[in-house]
Amino acid sequence: MTIKHLVMSGGGPIGISFLGAINYLCDVNFININEIESFYATSIGTIISVFICLEYDWPTINKYAIERPWKDIFKLNAKQIMDTYTTKGLYDIKIIEKTFKPLLEAKDLSLHITLKEFYEYSKKDIHFFVFDINTYKTVEITHVLYPDLQLINAIYMSCSLPGLFIPTMIDNMCLMDGGMLANFPLNYCLRDHSTKDEILGLNFIYKNDDGTECSGNNLINDDSDMMDFILALSLNSMNYITSSIKCDKIDNIVEFCSSTTTLTIDNLTHTVNTVEGRQQLFDKGIESAKQFIIQKEMKEIEKNEEKEKEESIFDYII
């Protein structure tokens, strides 16, 4: 079995856990990045996909994600807050530009590289998923459908969580975070690739400690501010819609579970401001991948035992 396609969900800070998990799965030879042909990703998943496609070694990627002083990028001033009345968000595309500028330039790639040009560089097919609020539909962005769209724009649109990021206006569309209808775009991958054993999914889901699913909703109270309210409205809607979408099953899914939302202002601030917070998320990703491998091995043992039992019964009958 060769993993050829990666599917990554949205989940904000959990993206660092995705990085840890993929790193571990490469270390144990469950996947080989050189054999990956395509990525299907939403929101933070698109950032991790592009990180991987840039072909840096793992120590470099991990150090960049964990140790870079991200608080210097996510600065907020009074003007940004005042301007949200007209801009419809706190941060603009400069956040993504600053994130990828050093990585692209170190590979002699332009910050303005198009999707077609990036595909020619990486030879990997990335499917970005965004949401058009005007038509209430998912928009799929690839180097085939939008060859001249800049890579940075595609990433930004898929990551544009309402309230935090200014939406993008293109062709009468108002584009924002794809998590509304395609937070885990597995069905899109299966549409194009029917061999399930060649697909690996990394999915953030809400579960209680006993394994039962829960809403993970952001809760609003008297101490909440306007940004808390906007995030809750957006994320709780996403959670409700995502839970109602029928998704096909595959065996290879690494789950990243939490009983509470990771996308609160406090959690986002902790992740952005502290190396420790990012390291914890990375380590959790490694642990999730380890559990996935253990479960795979246990299932294989059970399968072999069942096969041996059937063969023994067959031999006895003969």
CA angle (152, 104, 253) in 5-degree steps = 70
Question: Per-domain residue ranges for the chain?
Answer: 5-317
38-42 and 137-141 as β-strands: parallel, antiparallel, unpaired? unpaired
In this predicted structure, what is the pLDDT of residue 237? 82
Closest CA to 184 of 237, 232, 245: 245
CB 108 within 8 A of CB 171: no
CATH level 2 (architecture), domain 5-317: 3-Layer(aba) Sandwich (3.40)
Closest CA to 245 of 66, 9, 27: 9
Torsion angle of the four alpha carbons 240, 246, 252, 254, in this order, in degrees rounded to the nearest 10:
0
Express each pLDDT in 69-87 by its tens digit.
999 998 888 898 888 889 9
DSSP 162: B
In this predicted structure, what is the pLDDT of residue 239? 77
167 token code pair: 């939406």
In this predicted structure, what is the pLDDT of residue 179? 93
Q: What's the CA gap between 296 and 129, in Å, rounded?
A: 29
13 token code pair: 């800070």
Positions of the chain with pLDDT lower than 50, given as ranges: none
In this predicted structure, what is the pLDDT of residue 212? 67
Class of residue 305 by CB neighbours under 10 A (exposed 0-12, middle 13-18, buried 19+): exposed
Helix %, strand %, coil % of the chain (to 5): 50, 15, 30
> What would you report as the CA-atom Rg of the chain, rounded to the nearest whole angstrom?
21
Q: What's the CA gap between 104 and 85, in Å, rounded?
A: 33
In this predicted structure, what is the pLDDT of residue 244? 75
